[in-house]
Chain A
Amino acid sequence: MNNLIKGEKHDWEMVIGLEIHAQVKSNSKLFSSSSTKFGSSPNSQVSLVDAAMPGMLPVINKYCVEQAVKTGVGLNAKINNYSVFDRKNYFYADLPQGYQISQYKYPIVGEGKVTIDFKDGTSKDIRIVRLHLEQDAGKSLHDQNPSKTYVDLNRSGVALMEIVSEPDIRTPDEAGMFISKIRSILMYLDTCDGNMQEGSLRADVNISVRKPGDEYGTRCEIKNLNSIKFIKQAINYEAKRQIEILESGGSIEQNTMLFNTSTGKTRPMRNKEEAHDYRYFPDPDLLPLEISEEEIGKIKLSIPELPDELKYKFIETYKMSNYDASVLTADKQTSDYFNDAINSDAELKNHSKIVVNWITSELFSLLNKNNLELNNSPVSPENLGQLVKLISTNEISGKIAKDVLEDMFTSGKTARQIVDEKGLKQVSDQGEIEKVIDEVIAENPKMVEQYLGGKDKLLGFFVGQAMKLTKGKANPKILNDILRQKLNKKN
């Protein structure tokens, strides 16, 4: 794959690293017992601790720690037995303590890696630097009043996992695949709901450009992107901006950028004079976090099958391609659906390719058209399995099957019901098909002549005519065979 961008003067390569902020799936916050429910009325989920009242102290939520450890395991990462919570000091209206409790020098999870799979069958490892736990801030609402800012502290203190990658990413597509893969792992583990729209998963993108083979260039960080589409757009814009500066002889200033989703452009968030000195130091209100190997072992036992394990299992069991398997396992819903479908009938095991295709192309496009998620699909995995069975046993043709699936989708009926009711069963009876072919040959003598004169393409015309007469139910293979035989006999 060519990952380079053409510049005016020469080619450029992007160097990209991601910091992903994933909200820990937990009923209560990282250091308080307040609820984390999304969309509640402002300031209805704020404890004395979250509001930083005088004398209030944080107490670690053990469940959030377990979730972070689980995630670390899912990222093939080292779990640190000893980690420390630090204070990151800065002032902002929605940061009640005047500092964010985070982990700086000693994160709970160390180095790991995740694999992304390309369509061409190749894959690539993206290294993970670390994962640490931290609190979210509240929310400043600037649009409620022309001269005032309101503060909603519901989110204040909610647990986040910050997952930092090495700058191993080279294209916007890889960035998208990487975040999709992380999202997939988090959702399999049930440690984050993965909802990017609600902000449960957002990313900061670090990007620089260089001539291939050169040292890393100066990077800029684009903050707080909450969709894969925006991540790609922002990277593309920012890379172009940097290349333009460099090619016109300028140099890149390290900066923090914001991405404007309506203009598709990045702009600097603050200038150098305003750069923060966060004055990190260990939070004296909290003891260092110590996790024993035994506890880690216990957590590991609770971990479900992860996408990569499942992928290899699919490849092994169903002789599927790496890419097909990675598409199927990208999303737990999809792999569950596939599992249920293929296990609904023992014989389907030999037709896994058809099952995959019917899920990932036909069913997905219907779901897309109707704005539905797979878990709300009107077609159950068992019914889809039944449909594939009808195809694989030649009871219906692929073409008819498309109509049947659409019918299943809207009526909720099973494939069998529809095929029976509408009499769509494929005609494989030799005699019946011969009769139809004879009719077609008799009615089109001129065409037969032309065919025999060398116009081979006309075979399709005869097939079409015969299909018309059988309302598409004729077994195409048998139809083709008999037609050829009969026409050749005329010769």
Chain B
Amino acid sequence: MSNSSLKQALKDLDTKKISIRELNQDYLKRIKEKENLNIFIHFSEENVLKQIDNLEKDNSTKKLKGIPIAIKDLFCTKSMPTTAASKILENFNPTYESFVTQKLLDEGSIFVGKTNLDEFAMGSATNTSFFGNTINPLSKENEPLAPGGSSGGSAAAVAADLCLGATGTDTGGSIRQPASFCGIVGIKPTYGLCSRWGIAAFASSLDQAGIFSHNVEDASILLQSIAGFDKRDSTSAKIDIPNYFENLDDDLNGKTVGIPKEYSIDGTPLEISQIWEDAIKVLEKKGVKIKNISLPHTKYALPTYYIIAPAEASSNLARYDGVKYGFRSEEIDSLDEMYENTRAQGFGREVKRRILIGTYVLSAGYYDAYYLKAQKVRKLIADDFNKAFKECDFIVTPTAPSAAFPLNEKQNDPIKMYLNDVFTVPASLAGLPGISIPFGKDKNNLPLGIQILGKHFDEQAVLNAALSLERSYE
């Protein structure tokens, strides 16, 4: 696997060491070689070549000119179909470009394709996609591993070096966990930093776009590009976006890291605890003060998440009804039957499971006991973090409770699957920025990830800490 980086590629393009065409043809070649990993839902060489042609004719300077980027197939794109990995959006061609992808296009990047994901981003292994599993590029022969999810295709695309960066979305860990599984960097910014406009919604109060990259520097460059206020998204934040890359600083001397005791969970593999300790030691050596903190409501985060996210999803996915666009069942005798058959045939098992859970927790008589209570707990979880951040600059935890698992391992056990999110979900509920960086390996030589969480809109602190750990690890 090559050690390419976006920063290096930009330099090479700038010094004419390589042309846009040469750079991208290299990536096209690898994409075709790795077809068996089922990373892309949509890939068209012709489309990529057309983009190269256009950029060659374009004399303006652009920040990401010629950089191959993979797009999670949850972002609506004009030049490529958008499916959300669902049969119900099979053959859907948006007439509009999402805010995030438009920004990347404006800066001259090349979209190599649309990557696979769990259907409507619901899953942790990219195994609920209508278009089949994606295989983790780190798998050994005959032993296919899951790339994590839901943004497994994007994580795998970066890990397999099929692009120099990829977009993802993270609702409860969908960027950080696959980044950890694939041994790459994945950042989920603060809720509201990137506009949700044009991203098919899963859970609106949690969904946030973010970035996969080979390293922290690349992540800071790409994050800068996709962040920013958008008046079309009422929850988008009106803040000035700092120059994350220019401001990168790996000197953490005098900073304080919070280590939450609640993240030591019974049954966590020893290797996970080990890398966590290693990371803390590294930080200590760098002059970082270690502060043991408590986030007492952590244990309620998972059940809270699995009430709020499905509740919002059950409503967000009501628009896929066969009336206006996307799949419509052929067996129709009445309006009700059209809904029933279209949605029964158009959605997969996991999506239906969550729609049912969400419908249940919002229904009359259960709303107070589930949804309302979950909202109250969510507030307590956010308060935990607010309190903790009075005593520390960032928080370090493991990203996931395991390394990448075999492809079909947790297929039939949703609860086990949901436990994957145990370390990522609390920050999602609190809307905080988080990054996962590769840090150590398990006994099978599979990468493990460390998660760094920061204060609201303090992506810089998160990136700085990540850079520092990354450099010490290399």
Contacts and interface: CB of A to CB of B under 8 A. Distances in A.
B84 A54 contact: yes
Given A54-B89, A89-B315, A284-B312, A149 B198 contact: no
B198 A55 contact: yes
B231 interface: yes
A54 B75 CA distance: 9
Interface in B199-250: 199-201, 203-205, 231-235
B200 A55 contact: yes
Contacts of A53: 76, 94, 96, 324-325
Interface string A68-104: 0000000000000000000101011100111100000
B324 A51 contact: yes
A419 interface: no
A286 interface: yes
Nearest to B375: A282
A58 interface: yes
**Most interface-central of B95, B197, B318 (chain A CB within 10 A):** B318
A149 B322 CA distance: 13
Nearest to A285: B204
B233 A57 contact: yes
Among A54, A56, A60, A277, max chain B CB count under 10 A is at: A54
Contact of A55 (B197, B234, B367): B197
B243 to A, nearest CB: 28
Contacts of A245: none
B177 interface: no
Nearest to A49: B232
A57 B362 contact: no
B197 A57 contact: yes
Nearest to B363: A277
The B interface is mostly helix, strand or loop, or mixed, namely: loop
Contacts of A279: 314-315, 359, 362-364, 367
Contacts, number: 96
B235 A89 contact: no
Nearest to A58: B234
B204 A97 contact: no
A149 B233 CA distance: 33
Contacts of A60: 234
Nearest to A151: B323
Contacts of B89: 54
A91 B199 CA distance: 22
Interface in B160-213: 196-201, 203-205
A280 B204 CA distance: 15
A277 B339 contact: no
Nearest to B338: A93
A196 interface: no
A281 interface: yes
Contacts of B197: 55-57
Contact of B96 (A48, A91, A93, A287): A48
B324 A87 contact: no
Contacts of B200: 54-55
Interface string B68-99: 00000001100000101000010010111010
B318 A284 contact: no
Contacts of A48: 95-96
Q: Which 3 A-B pairs have the closest CB atoms?
A: A98-B318, A284-B205, A279-B362
Given A54-B201, A96-B319, 20 more contacts: A53-B96, A55-B198, A55-B199, A56-B197, A57-B197, A57-B232, A57-B233, A89-B318, A93-B323, A97-B318, A98-B315, A98-B318, A149-B335, A279-B314, A279-B362, A279-B363, A281-B315, A281-B367, A284-B205, A284-B235
5 contacts: A53-B96, A54-B82, A56-B198, A279-B364, A287-B235
Interface of B: 75-76, 82, 84, 89, 92, 94-96, 98, 196-201, 203-205, 231-235, 311-312, 314-315, 317-319, 321, 323-325, 335, 339, 359, 362-364, 367, 371
